Structure formats: structure tokens, C-alpha cells
Structure 1
Amino acid sequence: MLQRGVTVWFTGLSSAGKTTLSRVVASELRSLGYQIEILDDDLLRENLSNDLGFSKADRDENIRRIGFVATLLTRNNVIVLVCAISPYRHIREEVRNSIGNFIEVYVNASLDICEKRDIKGLYQKARAGQIKNFTGIDDPYEPPLNPTLECRTDLETIEESANKVLLKMAELGYINALSKKTNNLY
């Protein structure tokens, strides 16, 4: 199967469901024979950007690095699923322009829901002042103004959100079309 490379960029607050959603999408795409790579910001920070902190400049540089890797993979016809808070619009737009084949998925859940989902206790630490520059608490998150797709993970099941992503990928010609009868890929 010949596939077109594309970067699907999942952006949203910590604990909004970016990684969970990307894993469900990846699993479905892999089962259909697509080459997938997940670029998870937490893993990339440990291995590619461990020299960076969480200032605005460092966050921008981190996103540029992720974008560079995504560009290389996309150019080589890999479907790249990026899970990164990427809080600033300007850097997301910069990365979008450099990659070209790009789908921005706003993984939207309320701050209250994200805090309740936070198994690592990061929001609690940020509210206690133990973590500085935490997105959504003392550092801003700039929601996309015109995302390709919005998944409301506080209102939809993970399967509903994943199906929306797959449908959008099919609509844009990055994966095979979906059967209207079954809503499954064919």
C-alpha cells in the first residue's frame, strides 16, 4: 500500500487526552497496514530536548525540534502522530508551514476535567507553587483559532474522538476512504 505522509498534531492541555487518543488512532491505522510513528513530547523531552527548560523560548525550541523530526518522517511518507501541549499558536503555525501535510487536532477538555484526570499530580504541584510555568495554571495555553479538527474528550468517548480523526484523515486523502454504511475504513 502506498501511503501519503502527514503529521497529525494533537495539541491541548496536560491530561486532555492527546497521548491516549493518538494511541487509539495509531492502533487502528497499524491494523490497516499504515506506517505510523508517534512523537510524544514527554519522551522527546527526555531524549531530544533534555537540555531545555520550560521558558517560552525553550518551549518554542522544543516544538521546533519535534516539528523537524515530524517533517523528515512526513517527507518519507510516514503518518506521524505528535502529542505535544504546544501552548503557543505562533509556533504551531510555524511548524504547520514547515511540514506542509499537517492536520491540527485540538484535544479539548476543560481545565477542571484535566486536573481530575491528572494521575501524576502535576496540576496540584503547580497550584502549590512547586512547578513553575505550568501550562493552564501560570503559563497560558492559546487554543487553536481554526484547528483542522476539535475533539472534545470531556464530552466524547475516546472511540468517538478517534473516529473523528480517522474520518478527517480519510476526507483529506491521507488514508483510504471510509465506508458510509459501517463507518469503517476499507
Structure 2
Amino acid sequence: MDKPKKENIIWHETAITKEDRQKLHGQKSCVLWFTGLSGSGKSTLANKVEERLHSLGISTYLLDGDNIRYGLNKDLGFREEDRKENIRRIGEVAKLFVDSGIIVLSAFISPYTEDRQKVRDLLKEDEFIEIYTKCSLEVCETRDPKGLYKKARKGEITDFTGISSPYEAPVSPEITVNTESMSIDSCTDQIISYLMDKRYI
């Protein structure tokens, strides 16, 4: 069966807008994009932030890198082109959640600056909040919660970020949390304070 031509696809406007949904939820929707090395605490922190937001009555949804690969992106590997497609798809999903009027938390290594920028470009200027979970490679390796660094060092895993594949740290993220020197609670407080100060919640 032939794929539909783009000229035969027409965007269908809905009666209920993003602004209507935001008003219903009583919040400003956005993406909290957690990026950092494996072991830097992205998923742990994203979960803690979601718990705190939930306790405040904020509507949220958490997209986690490993979890997404169980379903939506289970056909993708870890080569550079697969990683780029992984982030592209997540960006589109995150955009849908923002349109639904909720705050979506996205915890992915997302190692390439270009790919993170493409996700940012999908959204309005104030709808993408990049959160850099800053932590040295040395500390991330000592944590190694999944044993992936050991496997990467032995050559059992190829294209592993920080070892055999690059990680491009954000140059000017909205938020930088140093998970090497700060507690998870302190990092969470920093993010929640930002959201309150900027009137997202």
C-alpha cells in the first residue's frame, strides 16, 4: 500500500484548545527535559519532582528513557541514527502532552545538542525547560546502578554514552542541578522553586 502523500494530509483544528485544557488543569503546561549521563540521577530526580508536583495537585506524566523502549521505541537500537529517532519521537509525544495541558517530565540521556534543540523548536519558547543533571563521569561510573559502565568498559556494550559515544552537555540550560554535590531533595526544591517563580504552577 502506498504511503499517503503529504499534500493529501490536512491538519484538523479541534474545538478545545491547549489554553482551554490548561485552564481546566489550572496550570501552564510544559516539558521538563532532564538530560545527563547514565547514572547522573535523571530518572530518580524526575520521579521525585513528579511526586512533589502531584502532592501539589499538578497534573503530570513522566516519560522515562528505558520505559519508552519497551513500547513506542522498541524497534530502535543505540546507534547514532536510532538515538536521534528515539529523541525525535519523544519530542513529538512530549508536544502532545503539552497540548493536553499537563506538565510532562522527560528523562533521557539525549546526548546530542542538535536533537535537544529540535525538540525545543517543536514547542513555544517557554514550554521547554532543559534540566541538566550535572555529574562527572567518574561519579556516574561509581554509581553504575544498572552495571552498564562495567559492560561498556569490557566492550560488551558499544556506542555507550560517555565511554564510546559522546555526550554534549547543555551550554545554557534553564536549570542546572549538580547531582554530584546536592541531595535529590535539594535538587527537587530547586526545580519546584523555578516552576513557582516562573508561574508554571
Query: Which deviates further from its counterpart, 128-137 or 99-108?
Result: 99-108
Q: Does 1:118 align with 2:117?
A: no
Q: Which has the larger radius of gyration?
A: 2
Match of residue 28, structure 1, among 52, 57, 62? 52
CA offsets, 1:43-69, max 9 Å, x none? 001111111111111101000111111
Normalising by structure 1, we get a TM-score of 0.92
Q: Does 1:144 align with 2:197?
A: no
1:113 Cα offset (Å): 0.8
| Contact 1:40–1:83 (Cα < 8 Å) also in 2 | yes
Question: Sequence identity, in percent?
Answer: 45
Counterpart residue number, 1:182 = none
Normalising by structure 2, we get a TM-score of 0.85
Equivalent residue pairs, number: 175
* Equivalent residue letter for 2:60: I
| Contact 1:67–1:99 (Cα < 8 Å) also in 2 | no
* Equivalent residue letter for 1:156: M
Counterpart residue number, 1:77 = 101
Match of residue 155, structure 1, among 181, 184, 198? 181
Match of residue 67, structure 1, among 88, 91, 99? 91
- Name the SS for the 1:7 alignment partner: strand
1:99 Cα offset (Å): 2.3
* Equivalent residue letter for 1:83: A
Counterpart residue number, 2:122 = 98
Structure 1: gaps (5+ residues): 176-186
Structure 2: gaps (5+ residues): 1-24
1:154 Cα offset (Å): 0.3
